[in-house]
Amino acid sequence: MAANKRKSAFEKNGSDEKIVSDSLDFNTLSNHLWESANILRGPVDAADFKTYIFPLLFFKRLSDVYDEEFSQALVESNGDAEFASFPENHRFQIPEGCHWTDVRSISKNVGHGLQHAMRCIEQANPDTLHGIFGDAQWTNKERLSDVLLKNLIEHFSGLNFGNANCKADILGQSYEYLIKKFADLTNKKAGEFYTPRSVVSLLVRILSPQPGDTIYDPACGTGGMLLEALHFVKQHGGDKNVMLGKLYGQEKNLTTSSIARMNLFLHGAEDFHIERGDTLRHPAFYSGDSLAVFDCVIANPPFSLEKWGDDIWISDPYGRNFAGLPPSSSGDFAWIQHMVKSMAIKTGRMAVVLPHGVLFRESKEGEIRRSLLKMDILEAVIGLGPNLFYGTGLAACILVFHETKRKEHQRKVLFVNASGEFKTGRAQNELSGDHVAQIHQWFVDYQDVEGICRVVSLAEIEENNFNLSIARYVEPIIEDKELTLPQTLNMLKNSLNAVFAAEDKLFSLLDKAGLSHE
């Protein structure tokens, strides 16, 4: 009986839904998804768009793929609906009454029906989808009225997100487009979950993951770095499927960690490991009594995180305080030590984005920096331009480590001043593809370039009290420019005018205070 009901619902869905016969292209799909956000405008703050849009997209995708599989099984079984409903014919299970079409038919208490369907799907797929829909409050009618949810559901019903109509790559690209659009809208809050794609590309190119490498991001946000690693292998002649099951990420925020999992699924990945939790307090990946180790460790952790867990690190069971205990006011060196401890022997390498303060701050951090340098695992320090990241206009740097450095790099560190490599934007600067390629080439060449790069010995760094400030080692090129007489006179005139203006302001202040000009 249930199988026949599912067949009837499937046939109704096929007749009602505006299913496009040709594959959706990126622009069509991206515009459609962006319009769904516009439906939410007003009752829902822009910062919360992702909390609702992404779970709905994923729910619709699951239902449409299920229908495809059901249709194929019907053909194979000459119309046997019971056979078509067998779990073996589906990647994911959708319980009776929890399909998209079931929710679409609800007219009252839509949010309750939606929430019920999502929770039941999670429970029916505990190994893969547990908690994946996040914790959105679908039943809050003050924010999500029945009318609004019906409009949103009908909007998503306008397209078919099955595999035949919506390729995983196109869907994944559109999903990432939406993530970036939401990041642009929220700006400051976006730094918690999104790293600009060009910066991610630079880090991945530096690490150069190979087929079969394990990739780990301890602050994975929406999973962008893990996805870029997959893309890199595919673009460089490898088979991305070789890496499936070799992607690992941890993210503290529930909504963001759910988005990361959906992101990977929608890009066609299946066997990966994204865990929710506080990495510094409770790391998710370990082997026996030790942390798990990986070939590539990559992250853009929260800058100078306060109250990060120093009370636990005093006696960290995983020995992550091997170089010293970072101050409670900044977790930067906690992230560094966690990542260093996560590098595999010989093959382990890591790239991390952090504020410039890690290069020169003293006290506890100075001692940690000294210990790390004496281990001779730091390979390069790369200074980036300003205002590249959401939520901060400050310039950041990339630290590159290698568990076992090449012989010619031992007892040396490459310093790169790439602060001039960026394209100015109205709200935020960005690295172009050419900038990424140039910075990467400087890293690969590992040699002196006047005003840009310098390979520095550990002995010289020690003479500078282990200070890693790039300006200490790379002197910018100063171009001597002779001024003409009119230019010189104009500069003098401007200087005199500034002096006179300052004098007038001083006299005015003295007058207000009743003091003499003498």
Could you report the per-residue pLDDT of 29-84, keeping only the tens digit for each?
Answer: 889 989 998 999 888 888 888 889 999 999 999 999 999 999 999 999 998 899 99
Mean pLDDT throughout 309-330?
Answer: 95
| Nearest to 442, CA basis, from 420, 414, 468 | 414
Element (H, E) at 293: none
Q: How confident is the model at residue 444 (pLDDT cuts 50, 70, 90)?
A: very high
The yes-or-no verdict on residue 116 having pLDDT over 80 is yes
pLDDT of residue 395: 86
Span 143-163, average pLDDT: 93
pLDDT range class, residue 19, cuts 50, 70, 90 = very low
The mean pLDDT value for 93-108 works out to 95
Average pLDDT over residues 200-215: 94
* 471 secondary structure, DSSP code: G
Q: Out of 169-173, 241-245, 469-473, pick the least confident.
A: 241-245
> Given pLDDT bands bounded at 50, 70 and 90, which one contains residue 437?
very high
Name the residue among 56, 201, 60 with its Cα closest to residue 133. Answer: 56
- % of the chain residues with pLDDT over 90: 60
pLDDT of residue 508: 65
Task: Please check the confidence at residue 429 and state whether its pLDDT lies above 60.
Answer: yes
Asked if residue 1 has pLDDT above 50, the reply is no
Give the mean pLDDT of 148-164.
93
Please name the residues in contact with 212: beta carbons below 8 A apart, sequence gap of 6 or more: 242, 243, 246
Residue 500's pLDDT is what? 64
- Residue 15, pLDDT > 60, answer no
The CA distance from 450 to 169, in Å, is 42
Render pLDDT for 371-383 as a digit per residue (tens, 0 to 9).
999 999 999 999 9
Average pLDDT, the chain: 87
Q: What is the pLDDT of residue 242?
A: 53
Query: What does the pLDDT look like over 388-407, one tens digit per residue?
Result: 887 677 889 999 999 999 99
Q: Could you tell me the two tokens for 436? A: 């990424």
Residue 504 pLDDT level (bands cut at 50, 70, 90): low
Instruction: Identify the band that residue 239 occupies on the pLDDT scale cut at 50, 70 and 90.
Output: low
Per-residue DSSP letters for 112-143?
HHHHHHHHHHHHHSTTT-TTTTTT--TT-TTT
Provide the pLDDT for residue 490.
Answer: 67
Extract the runs of DSSP E, i.e. beta strands, from 404-476. 412-417, 453-457
Residue tagged 């203006």 (tokens) = 501
Q: Give the number of other CB atoms < 10 A from CB of residue 136.
A: 23
User: 234-245 burial, b for 16+ CB within 10 Å, e for fewer?
Assistant: beeebebeebee
What confidence tier does 498 reach under pLDDT thresholds 50, 70, 90?
low
Across 196-338, the runs of DSSP E, i.e. the strands, are 215-217, 247-251, 273-276, 286-287, 290-291, 296-299
Residue 21's H or E segment, with its range, is: none
pLDDT of residue 479: 63
What value does the mean pLDDT take over residues 299-304? 93
pLDDT band of residue 20 (cuts 50, 70, 90) is very low
* pTM for the predicted model, two decimal places: 0.82
Mean pLDDT of all residues in 248-260: 91
pLDDT at residue 414 tops 60: yes
CA distances from 118 to 57, 96, 353 (A): 12, 12, 36
